[in-house]
A = this chain, B = another copy of it.
Amino acid sequence: MEGYGLFLVLLVSALLLGFLSVLFALIWVFHYREGLSWDGGSAEFNWHPVLIITGFVFIQGIAIIVYRLPWTWKCSKLLIKFIHAGLNTIAMILAIVSLVAVFDFHNAKNIPNMYSLHSWIGLAAVIFYTLQLVLGFAVFLLPFAPVSLRASLMPIHIYSGLLIFATVIATALMGFTEKLIFALKNPAYSTSPPEAIFVNTLGLLILIFGALILWMATRPHWKRPPEQNSKIQQPNGGTPEGTEEESTMTDCSNTDKSDVEFNSEAAARKRNLKLDEVGQRSTM
């Protein structure tokens, strides 16, 4: 992998920022607010930021870059697809539970639902995310879609995934703004009490987290190399980007784990040879 050191630095930074964001969300609701419970009160509302930041920001971010982790390139692409889909499913469930918490809180307090721009864009993001997940499952995970359909939908899948992720972060920033204006009355948000500074900082953390994820996800030289042993199944054709047939590997145990090398072409060639061997073994 070209620039492996830089990739590691960015990955560790993103993980740290992600963990820190979740930690900040927990400190926000436990130290500055009413904690967490499911009683129709403010402590039920508090599940909303905690679950959105944990699931819809952090876990979604990791799901986006899971293909980029070079030590997973020895695993079958199908396995990584399951991990990608699984993480996104967890994120979707947490996002939906977080919406239920807000609607429940609003209904208990007789606060109207769906009046704010935050709620409009946020609900749209959850709906598009669910659609993206269902379509991704049907086209890229189930074995029925033709290669040509996969190839034509892959750029749209990638673009809409990144767009939804960016929109989720924008929506979270709008949510922080709303909550700080509504919750901070005495002292007011405009007087910059500690909670205001703290949550503004949380906003910066998730913005930088998002920027790192988007950088890592859009570097062409950090892309997972095409599945080589698929060529054994289709010996006459190259496999266009995103259209590889499933590997015959189902986990990482078929390859030699001690032999992780990331030194450019030599290592890639060596890896491809190994994958060829694996392909031959598993198709025997």
Chain A residues within 8 Å of B, Cβ to Cβ: 111-112, 115-118, 120-121, 155, 159, 163, 166-167, 169-171, 173-174, 176-178, 180-182, 189-192, 196, 199-200, 203-204, 207, 211, 214-215, 218-219
Contacts and interface: CB of A to CB of B under 8 A. Distances in A.
Contacts of A196: 115
A177 B116 contact: yes
A196 B196 CA distance: 25
A190 to B, nearest CB: 5
Nearest to A159: B215
Contacts of A116: 177, 180, 189-190, 200
B218 A173 contact: no
19 contacts: A112-B192, A116-B180, A116-B189, A116-B190, A117-B173, A117-B176, A117-B199, A120-B204, A155-B219, A159-B214, A159-B215, A159-B218, A169-B170, A170-B170, A171-B173, A174-B177, A177-B177, A177-B178, A178-B181
Q: Is the contact region of chain A dominated by helix, strand, or loop, or is it mixed?
A: helix
Contacts of A181: 178, 181-182
Given A111-B190, A115-B196, A174-B174, 6 more contacts: A112-B191, A116-B190, A118-B177, A159-B215, A159-B218, A166-B166
